[in-house]
Structure 1
Amino acid sequence: MPVAPPRPTDLPLTALRAFEAAARLGGFSAAAQELGVTPGAVTAHVKALEARLAARLFIRGPKGVELTALGARVLPEFTTAFDALGLAVHHLRAESAPKIVHIATLPALAQLWLSPRLPGLRAQMPGVEISITAMEAPPNLKRAPYDLSLFPGREGRLVAEEDIFPVCAPQLAARLTRPEDLAVLPCLIDSAWAEDWQDWAAVAMPRAAFRPRGPVFSLYALAVEEAANGAGVLMAHGSLVAGHLARGQLVAPLPQRVRLPMALRLWSARPLKAGHPAERVARALLAP
């Protein structure tokens, strides 16, 4: 009579994924954000995994968690394995739906840089669907289901250098003839890039104790429109206001421009096959 011993139960993949993300990112909250679940769910998965192993993977403390020696030893293997799994899933998606291209980018880039280019891309590539997801930080393309990532950074292919400089509506330009005039004008502040004002002022008027005063916006595109409406002066990213400048809706009265260290770059987690829709979209976006 054949012997059929019971097979050892596999460790749950969701729990292993929760452990790897929490260990790599240094906390349960960061792991939850990447995985799209709650911190409580990550905590529950890790606790269940530790119970199955009868071993601790994290040391809990008042300031967060840190890996045990066991957790630190096994983390690199799980990171490599989940990276490989993510790329394999990405390849499967690309092969099963070759005419769909997924792009991840900042909300401001989606609205002000990508959107004007979409009609031309559709005309060049009939039948190709371009799907855009706006997010505040670059995704991990080894894990996330995106073909291309368009963000300011140092990794990837250069799309455009990025300069910042003040812009305003034409009717306001006569009141802005030198940097010091900004002290008496409303300054429109984007909450994500509030430091742009100080970075520019440090170069344009290094001896002035300048602090911008004016309304704060959480949507850069809205701040651009308000600047065009005459509400105040905006510290603009050149690539994002190029259309408004070309149409005369905004002007740049001051000559001082400051180059940002993080240029606009396009990145993919894997080599793009020549002629594949994702490669064609990337080539079109990189064209001058």
Structure 2
Amino acid sequence: MSDPSTASIVSTPAAQPTDTPATPGPQGNEKPRGLLGDAWRDLRRKPLFWISATIIVIFLLMAAFPSLFAPGDPVNGALSRSLNKASGDAWFGYDLQGRDVYARVIYGARASIVVAVLSVVGTLLVGGFMGIISGYLGGWVDTILSRVADVFFGVPFVLGAIVILTTFNGSGSSNSKAEIMGLVIISLIVLSWPVVMRLMRSSVLSTKEADYIVAARALGAGSGRIILKHLLPNCLAPLLVYGTIMVGSFIGAEATLSFLGVGLKSPVVSWGIMISEGKDFIRVAPGLVFFPAAFLVAAVLSFVMLGEAVREALDPKLR
């Protein structure tokens, strides 16, 4: 007599292979995402990102098309309207020379944002190039570039900018608007590139010994191809975060230098110049300082908040 348990095992039909493909899950058809794809997916869920990005877009539109926001004249005024209060024609009132404060605040976004964006681009290019060369080549090249960066680190930012701008843009100089803006941009780049250089250098040092870099080098890839195809794309995340925050910092730096009288100068319209011109009338007309300062703070905070949101999205440990 056969064992019932054995009979039941024998009588159970074996599982037969089937040709029917498995039904994919809800994510079965999704393509794998890279670092930027994951970061964008995480950013879309953050209210902080949308709030800061919306404010930045508004400021960029103000800088590109100021006449859409303020049809008034920001440069010419009438002394008969000197220090007049806010009205339907001038929402923020008039300054000492009878100029529309609202129009000047709107047009002031252009100079501040242009100087900040161009300075950031230049700083990222110069510092990024120095950092990737220093980190990849190493040796005496790394030593020399690191010591040069240490020299610039030792110069106080505001003091160094004052020295550079007063030397090439003194009170007796007759530089044009473009030349003055160029000097401010160059001074910001000269004093800020070592930070970017160190960020890029540390990223390259932690990446250049990765397996895919070693494999590319073993397959005969040259240094240029390794840097452009492998190192650079994988070292950009820290620069994106720092560059976004640095735009806000440079907007504040330009306003500080213009307030001190060594940055942009009239007839250029910027928030720093407006604050400098209105500080003597803060008791009589506080709006001359309050309104450009409010726009300045909003612009700086929006870029800082965007940089913080990008940092959290690009860092997997903070998600």
The normalised TM-score by structure 1 is: 0.22
| Structure of higher RCO (CA pairs closer than 8 Å, 6+ residues apart) | 2
Structure ranking higher in strand proportion: 1
Structure ranking higher in helix proportion: 2
The normalised TM-score by structure 2 is: 0.21
Q: Which has the larger radius of gyration?
A: 2
